[in-house]
Structures are given as C-alpha cells and as structure tokens.
Structure 1
Amino acid sequence: MPTRLHFDEADYLNCRFAHSALWETQAAAHMLKRPDRQAYQRPWLLRTRREAAAIDLTPLWLLMPQRGVTPGWLSPPPATPAAAFEDEIAQVRATDPLSARADALRSLKATPHALAAARDRGWLRDPAVMLREVSDALERIWTRLIEPEWPRMRALLEADIAFRTRRLAEHGLGGLLPEISTHCSWRAGTLTVQDHAEHERRLGGHGLVLMPSVFIWPHVIGTFEAPWQPALVYPARGIAGLWAEPAAPAVTTLTRLLGRGRAAILASLDVPATTTVLARRLDLAPSSVSSHLTVLREAGLLTARRHGRQVLYARTGLGDALTTGS
C-alpha cells in the first residue's frame, strides 16, 4: 500500500536533513521486537544482550504493532539537524496526556492483547502513567544500549547525510529520493513510498525532513501525520559494516609504507568517521589519531568535511587504492 506525499513550490525550499538520538532509541526497541530487522545488528545484539534483557521493553512494545502506526509523540521528527537526546525526551515527557491517549489508542487497537494490557496498567484511565513509563523505558534504552555506541552511530548517520547532500546538489530532489530506497518513487512532484499503510498528505509548505537511521532496515517510513513535521526515514548507508571491528593491523606493504597507526586509521575508514570514533575503535589516544589524520590528509589520502560540530574524515580515491591494493 502506498503513501503519497505531494510537494508544492514552497516544499522544495524547506526540505532538510536531520538525525535523531530519540528516533534511534525507539527504533532499537522496535528492532529488538522484530527478528526480521536484525540481520545487520547481530554484533551489537551480542554485545548488549545482557543489558537489553535487564530492560522492561513492554511499555514500548505495546505501542509498536506489527501492522499499524506507532504514536507520533513517541519519537517526533527533530526540530534541529542533530537534537540532543535530553531535549527530545523532555519533549516526550511534556506531551499532553489526553492527546497522547488518543494517539496511543490507534496503536493499541491494532493488537487486542496490547489494548487489554494498557487497561491493566491504568494507561487509559490515567495517560500520565503511560507517558512516564514509556519515557522511563526510552531513557533506560538510551543510557544502557545506545549512548555508549552513539559516537559510532552518529558518525555513520552524518556520513550518510554528507553523501546525500552531494547527490542532492548533483541530481536534485527528484533524482535523490528514488536513490534512497527501492520503496521510493518520484513523479511530477509526488513522492510515493511503498509501506504497510495507505496515506496521502500535501506537505503544505512544511517541506520534508530526510532522516537516515541505523535500525529501520529494511523498511522506509514515509510520513508523520499532522500535526507532525512530514519526514522520510530510511536505512543509512554503511550499516552492514557499522559494528565490524577492524582486524588487528598486520605487517603489510601499507603498514611498512605508512606506519602501523596511520595504516590502521586508513584501513578503518570504509565508513567516514570522526577523530573520537577512530580513537575508540582503534584504542588509540585522540591526540595520536589527530596527528595521524593531519599527515594522511596532507598526503592526499583523506578528506575532511565539517558537519555541525563534528569533522568527518573519509578516504580519497588514492586512499582507497592504497588500502585495497587496486
């Protein structure tokens, strides 16, 4: 069933990219409920299985039907390009309880046992209880499962945004959107997204927020219903290698040429990353990584691109050729 988003002239001017710590937190909870979404996340699942088992995910899972919508207030589209989790969770906690109850009922009714469980928990009688329990669960997932890995995840999301921004400049919005996913098509100012819901919305000058996600694969979400900002959430590029740890540096031609530290950094940049992510990934001091990055960049093996307060390093064509031996 398709979702159709209709653009007018003002919408083209108001499209933007963003990523959201809160979105990734709730999407991780959804992924934990759905084995069919876990193919690329198994290394992370193995590392975090004890922490995940200790978290009661029931409050979130009740609002995440397999066939049906999840309440918009659970993870609203971010108002800024890279909102802090603390600000986003504060917005969830500040949701009007009666509005939250009405929105939650649509999700609960999609699964009879979920509606019964919500009644048993007192959610329908006192929706403030629901907001508190759901917000507390989100905070626990963030603190125990997401925040320790957030630098790595954020680097991947920002690398996707940098890539998509270049593609937007090269091909325009009508060329970019079908590239994002095979579920997306574009014709005459209308974006069509194949998903589990039939929905139609005129963007009305609000534009579209394009949001890469680590945990949404293999799906794409095509809209948030009013009053939420229209958004397209799609799988980020490079998730297949996100959790892979680099192999221990071997005595190779690259190592002999560049030195062990620089060779390890260059080899680990299959996906663009920040100094902090590289230091953690390779167990090196940030100052050493920074020094190596400067040398590699001056040698023409890396590029640096600022995204917000972060600087992402990526291999150049020469860097790729040296790394792969091609």
Structure 2
Amino acid sequence: MPLSFHLGTDDLTRCRFAISPLCQIHEALRLLRRPGRHGYHQGWLRRARRTVAGLGLDPLLMFIPPPGGYTPDFLGAPPPEPYPSFEDELARMRATDPVLAHAEMARSLACTPGLAESPQGRAALDDPAAAVRHLAELTERAWHALLAADWARHRAVLEADIAHRSRQAADGGLDALLTDLHPGIGWTDRTLTLSMYGEVAEAQRADGRGVLLMPSVFVWPDVVSGFARPWQPTVIYPARGMGRLHDTGVPRPSQGLARLLGHQRAAVLTGLTAPASTTELAARHGLAPSTVSAHLSVLREAGLLTSRRRGHFVLYGRTGLGDAVVNGG
C-alpha cells in the first residue's frame, strides 16, 4: 500500500509551507549519489562533481544511501518556521539529541549490509554526539562549496513556487492546491497519498499539526516523505521552475508579445523563466544594465513582475499575470 496521511480538521487548518536550505543541500548531495536522475541539472552536476571530489564528504555521504535507503531525518529536519536561515538550521542540527541521532544513524547504516560494522559506522554509533558535530561541519562545508553562492536564485524559485500554490489555494481552496503538487501525490477523501512510496511503518502520521509542504530544486522526479517522530509530517516535492534554474539558453518572445511591448522588453519578460538580477539579465540579453533596469521598472509597474531583495541583489520574477502574458493565457 502507498504511504498516506489522513488529515483531520486540525490538520486541514494547519497545513503550511517552508523553505529549508539545510534540506536543499542534503537533497543536492542525494542527487549526486543517484545516477539517472540528473536531467534538469547536468551543468550544475558537472561542476559539483569536481568540487565534491576534494571536500572529504565521505562520512556524510555514508548516511545518504542509494534509492530505497533511509537518510537520518536530523540531517534535514522539517523547520518549525517558514523561512529559516542556513545558520539557524545548522545550529538545530548540532543540538540533535544523541539518543535520537544514534537511532536514526543505526537505521540508515542498516540499509547497506556491513556498513554498521565498518570502522566508520562503529565510530558514529559509539559516539553519536561527536558524529553529529562532524556531520554538521561537513554539511557546512558542502553548503559553502556547492550552494551558498547560488542560494538567492534557488530561494527565489522556491518562493515563486509557494506564491503560485498560495494563489491556487486562494482561488480553489486546499483541494486545488493538493491535487496539483505532483503526479505521484493523490488527494481524495481528506487523504494525501504518495503513490511513489510504499507503506513506511516508522513514518509520522498526521496528528493535528498539519502537513508541512516544502518545495525543492533537487528532489525531482521524486517526492520525499516518511519523517518519523518527533518530526512534523512533511512532503518535499519538486518546485515549479526548477528545471529552468540552470538554463543557459535565452527563450525568444512571441511576435505578438514583441509587437505589444517592444522586442527588448518582451525578451526580458520572456527570459525570466526563473528569478534573476538586473546584472544577470543584462549579460543574458546583451543590454546595458540601465536599459534592463528601465524595462524592469515598467514591467513591475504593470503588475507583470515582482522584486525581492536577497543580500546585495534584487531578484525579479514573473507574477501570475506575467506568466499568463508570456504563455498567451
């Protein structure tokens, strides 16, 4: 039987979204470990493989087993707040109860015959507190080497997914939201069903806290769940737009849109398949940054774009109206 969550009244009122940078870096490492699931991230993977080779991440990768295995939940635990920083999540990871860490690491190591009896496996289980500290250090190393520089763009894609799905819920209620998350997720009779999962005895059940929904850039084509106690029931699904995050090609605007907006402005709008900064757009379209900035201001005033500051950059992304204009709907 597939894994399912039957949502009671309290659950229905407490479903929520979150973005977890800690979850994203571990999903990125999982992607590197799983051949044949790389379609949307070939360029990133080529760069990441060269980088990972020199990071000494084997003690961390030991707990990210092949498909069908179990990764300790504390490596990417569901966050209690919607938009935690990586630093806050890493601090929570470092504070993991050693008893919980031992149980989750033992379950993970058991997925690979002989790994629990290996010197590395025994060392982790003999001193789980030290193992947690070491895994946190390696996670921090991986974050800064693989994802930190691009996090603003990744987060913008995840935020755009949440904004889109929030509009779905506003327009059509929870049914409209939950039936469109992923082809492998079913929603009927107050039951959320993950057809790609078999029944997991240890999985946390809906218990009045609702289900946490987390978009991910790296989880495609899967859906991830199965968090055990004490974690909140969670579903991690592929984010809309994640396939275009690493695109290098520039899509061409339709002739009708170019006539309506002018070719440059239409090209800027059409090219925003994923959120980007003025500098990125100027390089992509061969335009002066001041020209791009002027086009972005007009498009934003027309309600076709939204802007969000991320550190030193302002990232621009299409609104629902902008998507409709580009797609002719």
Residues 143, 130 of structure 1: CA spacing in aligned structure 2 closer, same or farther, 3 A cutoff?
A: same
After superposition, the Cα gap between the structure-2 partners of 1:88 and 1:318, relative to the gap in structure 1 and judged at 3 Å, is closer
- Gapped runs of 5+ residues in structure 1? none
SS of the residue 2:193 aligns to: strand
1:142 aligns with 2:143: yes
Unaligned runs of at least 5 residues, structure 2: none
Partner of 1:206: 209
Structure 2 residue aligned with 1:89: 90
Moved more, 202-211 or 117-126: 117-126
2:317 corresponds in structure 1 to 313
Structure 2 match to 1:53: 53
Q: Does 1:219 align with 2:222?
A: yes
Matched length: 319
| 2:176 aligned partner | 175
List aligned pairs for 1:1-326, cutoff 5 A: 1-66=1-66, 67-117=68-118, 119=120, 122-199=123-200, 201-247=204-250, 254=258, 258=262, 260=264, 262-271=265-274, 273=275, 277-283=277-283, 289-298=292-301, 300=302, 302-304=304-306, 313-314=317-318
Within 1, Cα distance between the matches of 2:69 and 2:328? 49
From the superposition, tell whether residues 97 and 11 of structure 1 become closer, same or farther in structure 2 (CA, over 3 Å): same
C-alpha offsets along residues 174-194 of structure 1, whole Å, 9 cap, x if unaligned?
A: 332231111111221111112
User: Is the alpha carbon distance of 1:186 and 1:160 closer, same or farther for their aligned partners in structure 2, counting shifts above 3 Å?
Assistant: same
Moved more, 172-181 or 86-95: 172-181
- Highest RCO, 1 vs 2 (Cα 8 Å, sep ≥ 6): 1
Q: 1:308 to 1:6 in 2, by over 3 A?
A: farther
- What SS does the corresponding residue of 1:170 show, helix, strand or coil? helix
RMSD: 3.2
- Partner amino acid, structure 2, of 1:313: G
- Aligned partners of 1:44 and 1:20: how far apart in 2? 20
Distance in structure 2 (CA, Å) of the matches to 1:179 and 1:318:
20
For the Cα contact (< 8 Å) 2:156–2:315, is it kept in 1? Answer: no
CA deviation vs aligned residue, 1:139-196 (integer Å, no higher than 9, x gap): 1111011011111111111111111111112222233223111111122111111234
**By how many angstroms is 1:301 displaced?**
6.8
Contact between 2:251 and 2:270, CA under 8 Å: does it hold in 1?
A: no
Q: Percent identity?
A: 39
Deviation at 1:95, TM superposition (A): 0.9
| Alpha-carbon distance in 2 for matches of 1:61, 1:293 | 42
Asked if 2 retains the 8 angstrom alpha-carbon contact of 1:25 and 1:142, the reply is yes
Distance, in Å, in 1 between the alignment partners of 2:261 and 2:6 is: 54
Matches of 1:188 and 1:69, distance apart in 2: 29
Q: 1:291 to 1:129 in 2, by over 3 A?
A: same
Structure 1, residues 277-312: CA drift from partner, whole Å, max 9, x if none?
A: 3433544887765443112233x3723277999875
Q: Distance in 1 between matches of 2:258 and 2:82?
A: 38
Q: TM-score, normalised by structure 1?
A: 0.85
CA distance in 1, matches of 2:251, 2:219: 31
Contact persistence 1:122–1:129 (CA under 8 A): no
CA distance in 2, matches of 1:319, 1:173: 22
Counterpart CA distance in 2 for 1:198 and 1:308 is 40
Letter in 1 for 2:317: Y
| Contact 2:186 2:193 (8 Å CA) reproduced | yes
Listed one character per residue, the Cα deviations across residues 102-150 of structure 1 (whole Å, up to 9, x for unaligned) are 1110111111243233556611211123112211221111101101111
Q: Structure 1 residue 222: deviation in Å?
A: 3.0
Displacement of 1:64 after TM fit?
2.0
TM-superposed deviation, 1:207:
0.6
Is the 1:68–1:197 Cα contact (8 Å) retained in structure 2? no
Q: CA deviation at 1:315?
A: 5.8
> Matches of 2:320 and 2:164 in 1, distance apart?
14
SS at match of 1:207: coil
AA aligned to 1:143 is H
